[in-house]
A = this chain, B = another copy of it.
Amino acid sequence: MPKRPHRPLPLGTPAGVEVLTKILTQGPIPRVQIARRTGLSQAAVTKAVAPLVEAGFVTDHPAETEDGTEVRAELGIGRPVSPLTVVPDSISVIGLKVTPTDLIGVTTDFKAGIRAVRHQQLADKSPDSVLERLAELATELMATLHDKTDPAGPLIGVGVAVSGDVDAVHGVVRDSPFMGWRDVPVAALLGEKLKVPVIVSNDVRALTVAEHWFGVGVDADSFAVVTIGSGVGCGLYINGEVVSGAHGVSGELGHLPLAPGDLVCTCGRRGCVETVASSDAILARIRETTGRPELDLAGAIELAHEGDAHAREAFDRAGEVIGSALAAMVNLVGPQLVVIAGEGVADYDLYDQRMRQAFAEHAFGAAGDCTLMLRSHTFDDWARGAAATVIRSYVRGEPPLHR
């Protein structure tokens, strides 16, 4: 496995990392604004930018926006400036999301813009089989990078997002209840197959990194990303950084003990939020209370939309415990903004009201003043999150991309 990316970044100093981060996440941005926002001198900014422009990662040619207007006009500045942007196709990244039934893969450019998407169904979720399929999917995605009419930048690494307790430093999935995995060294095994550096992250953490650098985080001082669907997860951005947890675990909103203690979670613990609020839990409840074991999730949602009392009750219960969990989270960390995202938001109308009611009941004082924002969300976004973790490690000069 190559120990260095194809295109090492000419950074070297913490100031260089800071400058590139500003250009990447806030560009197009003039040098003078970078200086203002970082507290660096203009000379220091110019010094950091020069080798990046030289090597083709950054450009100060007036970029064009989608409708062809020059950026300088967009900035409302009359005299010519040279706002800096990264060159999107100076590198490529692959992001992969693992679920128990599907693999989702994307290629992105330097700005986490999606270029290609591939999905693959999983017949078997054992680590060996999934790693084999992941390698195939990544290889397929790599082939798309060499399109002659629209060539992408050289691949710097592959990101993999998996739910559960993931040791990102060592690249090991320690415990993923959904996958039934324990201590699977995904980074080493997949890296060996692909001969490319691999970064493994908790999936919600990866999504939060993407929001931090390429989404709502660019403007918010603090935020939480809450995902609702087959699991309930949460990523936190506080005090200028994504919260990673001293031991690699954080944001486990789905495993707060807020549900009845007689319900056993997929993780083995009692009373977790997911015992009531995961899509599997909702479906199981509706099957039981309606006496219709043949129902699938789509059927259960339809039933609830038709007004069936049993089906509504299961979504109410889910909404209530999710609302309580959101309140618990804002009472503890007090974010400015809560983004609600996840595959479950298609059924969002079914628990929205009860969720907001429970949230309002339990949010303490001004903690409840945070904005709750609903965000539509696809599986591709999870894979893009995995790509964003690779881009962040690349810019920050972290291993395994720079070992």
> Is the beta-carbon distance between B324 and A249 smaller than 8 angstroms?
no
Given contacts A252-B332, A256-B332, A366 and B221 within 8 Å (CB-CB) = no
The verdict on A244 contacting chain B, using a C-beta distance below 8 Å, is yes
Residues of B close to A270: CB separation below 8 A? 361-362
Given contacts A236-B333, A365-B174, A328 and B246 within 8 Å (CB-CB) = no
> Is the beta-carbon distance between A334 and B243 smaller than 8 angstroms?
yes
A47 to chain B, nearest CB (A): 15
> Is the beta-carbon distance between B331 and A249 smaller than 8 angstroms?
yes
Residues of B close to A221: CB separation below 8 A? 246
> Is the beta-carbon distance between A269 and B238 smaller than 8 angstroms?
no
Number of A residues with CB within 8 Å of any CB on chain B: 54
> Is the beta-carbon distance between B335 and A269 smaller than 8 angstroms?
no
Residues of B close to A14: CB separation below 8 A? 39
With A and B bound together, what is the CA distance between A252 and B365 in angstroms?
10
The verdict on A250 contacting chain B, using a C-beta distance below 8 Å, is yes
Residues of B close to A167: CB separation below 8 A? 366
- From A39, which residue of chain B is reached at the shortest CB distance? B14
Given contacts A238-B239, A239-B241, A269 and B366 within 8 Å (CB-CB) = no
A333 to chain B, nearest CB (A): 6
The verdict on A327 contacting chain B, using a C-beta distance below 8 Å, is yes
Residues of B close to A330: CB separation below 8 A? 249
> Is the beta-carbon distance between B255 and A257 smaller than 8 angstroms?
no
A268 to chain B, nearest CB (A): 10
> Is the beta-carbon distance between A247 and B367 smaller than 8 angstroms?
yes
Mark interface residues in A228-260 (1 if CB within 8 Å of B CB, else 0): 000000101011110111111111110111100
> Is the beta-carbon distance between B364 and A165 smaller than 8 angstroms?
yes
With A and B bound together, what is the CA distance between A258 and B325 in angstroms?
10
The verdict on A329 contacting chain B, using a C-beta distance below 8 Å, is yes
> Is the beta-carbon distance between B366 and A248 smaller than 8 angstroms?
yes
Chain A, range 327-352, C-beta contacts under 8 Å to B: 327-337
Residues of B close to A267: CB separation below 8 A? 364
A249 partner, pick from B165, B252, B256, B366, beta carbons under 8 A: B366
Residues of B close to A164: CB separation below 8 A? 365
A265 to chain B, nearest CB (A): 10
With A and B bound together, what is the CA distance between A257 and B324 in angstroms?
7
Residues of B close to A365: CB separation below 8 A? 164-165, 174-175, 249, 252
- From A321, which residue of chain B is reached at the shortest CB distance? B257
With A and B bound together, what is the CA distance between A53 and B44 in angstroms?
29
**Of A165, A252, A329, which is in contact with the most chain B CB atoms at under 10 Å from its CB?**
A252
> Is the beta-carbon distance between A370 and B247 smaller than 8 angstroms?
yes
The verdict on A279 contacting chain B, using a C-beta distance below 8 Å, is no
The verdict on A222 contacting chain B, using a C-beta distance below 8 Å, is yes
The verdict on A369 contacting chain B, using a C-beta distance below 8 Å, is yes
> Is the beta-carbon distance between A239 and B245 smaller than 8 angstroms?
no
> Is the beta-carbon distance between A250 and B39 smaller than 8 angstroms?
no
Given contacts A252-B367, A257-B258, A238 and B238 within 8 Å (CB-CB) = yes
With A and B bound together, what is the CA distance between A21 and B249 in angstroms?
30
Chain A, range 299-326, C-beta contacts under 8 Å to B: 324
Chain A, range 197-252, C-beta contacts under 8 Å to B: 221-222, 234, 236, 238-241, 243-252
Residues of B close to A331: CB separation below 8 A? 249-250, 252-253, 255-256
> Is the beta-carbon distance between B328 and A248 smaller than 8 angstroms?
no
Q: A239-B240, A252-B332, A328-B332 are in contact. List 5 more A-B contacts (CB 8 A).
A: A165-B366, A222-B246, A247-B370, A253-B332, A257-B361
Pairs of residues from A and B, 4 with the lowest C-beta to C-beta distance, nearest first: A245-B334, A165-B365, A246-B336, A249-B367
